[in-house]
Structure 1
Amino acid sequence: MSTLRRVVLIDDDQVSNFVCESIIKNDGFADEVYSFEWAQDALEFMQRSSINDPDGFPDLIFLDINMPGMDGWAFIQEYRKLPEHVTCKCSLFMLSSAVDRKDIICAKSHEEVKDFFSKPLSPEILAIIREEFISQ
């Protein structure tokens, strides 16, 4: 049985999304995984879900910081505009190759961001999330 129902990956790196999807599925971490290379597309998906299918809103989001168009910081600003009754049930994690300490501090300063993890995603990271954030 999966830990979560729906996970969303937001990263402009198609290979990274493929690897993350494989790790999540092989680990049995989620029933469904949706990948978006454009943060705006992910945001539109979540906006539709919040209106048409609030129960289908993601349980967890892995968000990259550095992306063309809408970056991770701009995504968070727009994510805040979504209805609180759906976002309160979703855990948002930064998953980035950024190693700038300022990015890590900034990510953790956003109340929506549960934690910051460096790429690549691994079964160990999923275990940490299960233990520290989901089993509460």
Structure 2
Amino acid sequence: MGTLKKVVLIDDDQVNNFVCESIIKNENFADEVISFEWAEDALVFLKEITDKDPAGFPELIFLDINMPGMDGWSFIEEYRKLPTEATALCNLFMLSSAVDRKDIISAKSHSEVKDFFSKPLSPEILGFIKEEFISA
């Protein structure tokens, strides 16, 4: 059994999602990993959960910044509109290949974003998240 029940990945890169899913599963970090290549689809999914089963809201979301359609910043704006009863227990992390310091500073300035990590996801990043953000 994983540390978490559900993790959501939001990244337009299908290969990156596959790699992240593999790492999360290999590290027994989560029981379920759900990937979305479109932030809009992820929002629809999250809204459905808040309507039908708020207890099933993911405990962690990895969000990319630069995506076609809705980017990470726009996603955060919409994420803020979800019920706080659901989002309060979710850890939202930026996971991006963006190396622009402005993006890192901006990510950390959003209260919803717990931290910013550069791709690729690694077992070390998951270990850090477990130690710093996930209560036992």
**Count of paired positions:** 136
Measure, in 2, the Cα distance between the counterparts of 1:104 and 1:65: 10
Aligned-pair identity (%) = 76
2:61 aligned with 1:73, yes or no? no
Q: Which runs of 4+ in 1 moved over 3 A?
A: none
Q: CA deviation at 1:55?
A: 1.0
Which residue is 1:57 aligned to?
A: 57
Q: CA deviation at 1:135?
A: 2.7
Q: Where does structure 1 lack aligned partners over 5 or more consecutive residues? A: none
What does 1:9-48 correspond to in 2, within 5 Å?
9-48=9-48
Gaps of 5+ in 2: none
Determine the C-alpha separation between the residues in 1 that align with 2:133 and 2:90: 11
**With structure 2 as the length reference, what TM-score do the two structures score?**
0.99
Paired residue type of 1:55? A
Q: Does 1:93 align with 2:93?
A: yes
Mapped to 2, the partners of 1:51 and 1:91 lie a distance apart of 20
CA distance, structure 1, for counterparts of residue 85 and residue 56 of structure 2: 13
User: In 2, Cα distance between the equivalents of 1:74 and 1:101?
Assistant: 19
| TM-score (normalised: structure 1) | 0.99
SS state at 2:98 partner = coil
Which secondary structure state, in structure 2, belongs to the residue aligned with residue 6 of structure 1?
strand
Partner of 2:122: 122
Q: Give the CA RMSD over aligned residues.
A: 0.7
SS in structure 2 of the partner of residue 5 of structure 1: strand
